[in-house]
Amino acid sequence: MQEHVTDPYVKQAQKDGYRSRAAYKLLEIAQKDRLLRPGAVVFDLGAAPGGWAQVVAKAVGAAGRVYAVDLLPVQPVRGVQMLRGDFTDPQTRAELLALAPAGADLVLSDMAPNISGIADRDQRLSFELAELAVGFAAEALRPGGSVLLKVFQSEWVEGLRADMAELFQRVSVRKPEASRGRSAEVFLLGSGLNKTLAPSSAQSP
C-alpha cells in the first residue's frame, strides 16, 4: 500500500487522467517500437480498468478501432468497444474475432491471473494466457501485424518466445521503466506476422 501511494507513476496517472499506472508501460513501449498509429485496428486483452485502452484510443483516433475485453466491467472509454468475457473461453475469442473480420494491426495483452502468491501457479496461469494471446493474434492480425503481451518470467517463457519466432519476423523482450524492478513481468513483442504460418487456434479450447 505504501509503495502504491508513493509510486511516481501512480501520481502521474492521477495527474494525466489515466486509470492505471500500467498506461506508462504501454506508452514507453509504443513510443520505442512505434506500435500505435492513427487509423489502426487494435485489440486490448485484459483491459480493466482501462489505462491501455485510453492510450490506444487516443493514438488511433477516430479513424481507428479499438476492441477490448476483460473479465471485469470497465467504465466506457470513448472510441473503445468493450466486451465483458473470459478470454480463455473459445466463444469469447470467436466474438472478438468477428468484430474485426478484415484483421487487426495490433493485439495487446496485459492479462494477468489473480496473484495467489504461489509462484508456480501464477507463472503457469500467466503463461497460459500469453499462449492463448499468441494463438489469437495469429488469427486476428493482418499480415505484418504485431502482438505485445505480458507474461510472468518462468521456465516456459523461452518456449513461448520460440513459438512466436515461428510466426513473427522479429521477437523482442521489453521491460519498461514503469514495470517495477522486482515485478516478475516481462513483455514479449512479436512484430511482422508472417500470415502463411498462422495456425487456426482461436477456435480451439
- The nearer residue to ligand SAM, 88 or 153, going by C-beta atoms, is 88
Separation CA 155–CA 174 (nearest Å): 17
User: 97-126 mask for ligand SAM (x: CB under 6 A)?
Assistant: -------------xxxx-------------
The angle formed by the CA atoms of residues 45, 49 and 51, to the nearest 5 degrees, is 80
Q: In angstroms, what is the minimal distance from the CB of 70 to ligand SAM?
A: 4
Q: Cis omega before residue 49 (within 30°)?
A: yes
For residue 32, indicate whether it is catalytic.
no
Determine if 9 is a binding residue for ligand SAM (CB under 6 A): no
- The nearer residue to ligand SAM, 70 or 105, going by C-beta atoms, is 70
Residue 166 grid cell: 515461428
| Helix ranges (DSSP H) in the chain | 2-6, 8-16, 23-33, 51-60, 90-99, 119-140, 157-167
Determine if 42 is a binding residue for ligand SAM (CB under 6 A): no
Instruction: Give Cβ neighbours of residue 15 (< 8 Å, ≥ 6 apart).
Output: none
From the candidates 11, 15, 150, 195, give the one annotated as an active-site residue: 150
Which of the stretches 19-27, 155-163, 171-179, 194-202 binds ligand SAM when contact is defined by CB under 6 A? Answer: 19-27
Residues counted in the chain: 205
Separation CA 129–CA 135 (nearest Å): 10
User: 58-97 mask for ligand SAM (x: CB under 6 A)?
Assistant: -----------xxxx-------------xxx---------
- The nearer residue to ligand SAM, 52 or 152, going by C-beta atoms, is 52
Determine if 176 is a binding residue for ligand SAM (CB under 6 A): no
Catalytic residues, by residue number, are 150
